[in-house]
Amino acid sequence: MIPSGGLPNAKSSSTADSSVLQISGGHRLQGHVKISGAKNSALVIMAGALLCSGECRLRNVPLLADVTRIGQVLSALGVRLKQTGDILEIDARVIKTSKAPYELVTQLRASFFAIGPILARLGVAQMPLPGGCAIGARPVDLHVRGLQAMGAEVQIEHGVCNAYVPGSSRRLKGAKIYLDIASVGATETLMMAATLADGETIIENAAREPEVVDLANFCIAMGAKIYGAGTSTITIVGVPQLHSTEYTIIPDRIEAGTFLVAAAITRSELILSPVVPEHLTPIIAKLQDIGVPIIEEAPNCLRTLSAETLRASDIETLPHPGFPTDMQAPFMALLALAEGDSVINESVFENRLRHASELNRLGADIRVKGNVAFVRGVPMLSGAPVLGTDLRASAALVLAGLAAEGKTIVQGLQHLDRGYDRLDTKLQQLGARIQRIPLAQVNAEVASNPTVEELPTSGATNRENVQSQ
Ligand code: EPU
Average pLDDT over residues 146-166: 95
- Ligand 1, residues 348, 351, 423: which to mutate, most atoms within 8 A of Cβ? 348
pTM > 0.85: yes or no: yes
- Is the pLDDT at 447 greater than 90, yes or no? no
Mean pLDDT of 253-272: 98
Domain coordinates in residue numbering, the chain:
13-36+252-448, 39-248
Cβ 406 vs Cβ 430: under 8 Å: no
pLDDT tens-digit profile of 316-351? 999 999 999 999 999 999 999 999 999 999 999 999
In this structure, the residue with its CA closest to atom 10 of ligand 1 is 138
180 is in an annotated binding site: no
Q: Are 344 and 325 in contact (CB under 8 A)?
A: no
**Res 355 pLDDT > 80:** yes
Could you tell me the distance, in angstroms and rounded to a whole number, from the CA of residue 138 to the centre of ligand 1? Answer: 7
From the options 3.65.10.10, 3.50.30.30, 3.40.190.10, 3.90.850.10, give the CATH code of 39-248.
3.65.10.10
**DSSP sequence for 92-142:** -S----SBPPHHHHTT-GGGGGGHHHHHHHHSEEEEE----BTTB----HH
Where are the alpha helices (H) located in 236-280, listed in sequence order? 253-265
pLDDT of residue 15: 65
- Cα of 319 vs centre of ligand 1, distance in Å, is 9
Tell me the pLDDT tens digit for each residue of 3-31: 333 354 455 555 666 899 999 999 999 99
For residue 186, report the distance from its CA to the centre of ligand 1, in Å.
Answer: 9
CA of 29 from ligand 1 middle (Å) equals: 32
Residues 100, 128: contact at Cβ < 8 Å?
yes
Whether the domain at 13-36+252-448 and the domain at 39-248 fall into the same CATH topology: yes
Nearest ligand 1 atom, CA 39: 41
Question: Does the pLDDT value for residue 403 go beyond 70?
Answer: yes
Q: For 361-400, write each residue's pLDDT tens digit.
A: 999 999 999 999 999 999 999 999 999 999 999 999 999 9
| Residue pLDDT, tens place only, 208-234 | 999 999 999 999 999 999 999 999 999
Closest residue by CA, ligand 1 atom 44: 469
Counting ligand 1 atoms within 8 A of each CB, the residue from 64, 154, 181 with the most, and so the one to mutate, is 181
Q: What angle do CA 193, 246, 69 make, to 5 degrees?
A: 60
The CATH number assigned to the domain with range 13-36+252-448 reads 3.65.10.10
Please report, rounded to a whole number, the percentage of residues in the chain having pLDDT higher than 90.
Answer: 83
CA-proximal residue: ligand 1, atom 22 (nearest) = 185
Looking from the CA of 417 toward its CB, the CA atoms found within 13 Å total 24
Which pLDDT band, with edges at 50, 70 and 90, does 135 fall under?
A: confident
pLDDT given at position 457: 56
The mean of the pLDDT values for the chain is 92
**Would the pLDDT of 463 be above 50?**
no
pLDDT confidence bin for 236, thresholds 50/70/90: very high
